[in-house]
Amino acid sequence: MVTARSGLFASIPGKDYLLFWQAGRFQPQRVARFLGLSNSEAASLSGVAQSSVRFDRKIPHGLRDLLSEVAATCTLVAEVFGGDATRTALWFKTRNPTLGDVSPRHMIVSGRHDELRRFVMEAVGADAAAGAIADAPDPAPVKSQMPEDN
């Protein structure tokens, strides 16, 4: 379930549904595994040599930063699916007409993560706003300010 958050904080998921931050430590290998990223794809995305790609404590900083942002996007999508990792993974691997008939994963490996994040943020914001509107109490009747004809 998507909850309404201020725009300033909306880019951070409310919960770590996909366990990318176990015990407060970012686990970049989980993000790569979740999306099925090859070392070649990771290298291309981060601009490091393929031989430098690793997912342990010595991960190149650029790759770590990129995967951290991708992880936040993945987790926001998981939040939409109620934390269901299987449905979230399927969403990332399935072509989507709203995204130009490519999969979200394809957008990521094509270097279009920022564009995907904007799509996700807009959708999450719209869903949260719709939920807030649906949950809002009915407004009190408004008295007319016009004098009544007697």
Average pLDDT over residues 67-75: 96
**pTM score:** 0.79
For the chain, give the mean pLDDT.
85
pLDDT of residue 9: 79
Specify the amino acid at residue 134: A
- pLDDT above 70 for 12: yes
pLDDT of residue 145: 47
The set of residues, in sequence order, having a beta carbon less than 8 Å from that of 1 and lying 6+ positions away, is 79, 82, 131
- pLDDT above 70 for 3: no
Average pLDDT over residues 43-63: 93
The percentage of residues in the chain with a pLDDT greater than 90, rounded to a whole number, is: 69
Average pLDDT over residues 11-35: 93
CA 95 → CA 15, 113, 127, distances in Å? 26, 15, 21
- Residues 112, 115, 120, CA angle at the centre, nearest 5°? 125
pLDDT in tens, 100-114: 999 999 999 999 999
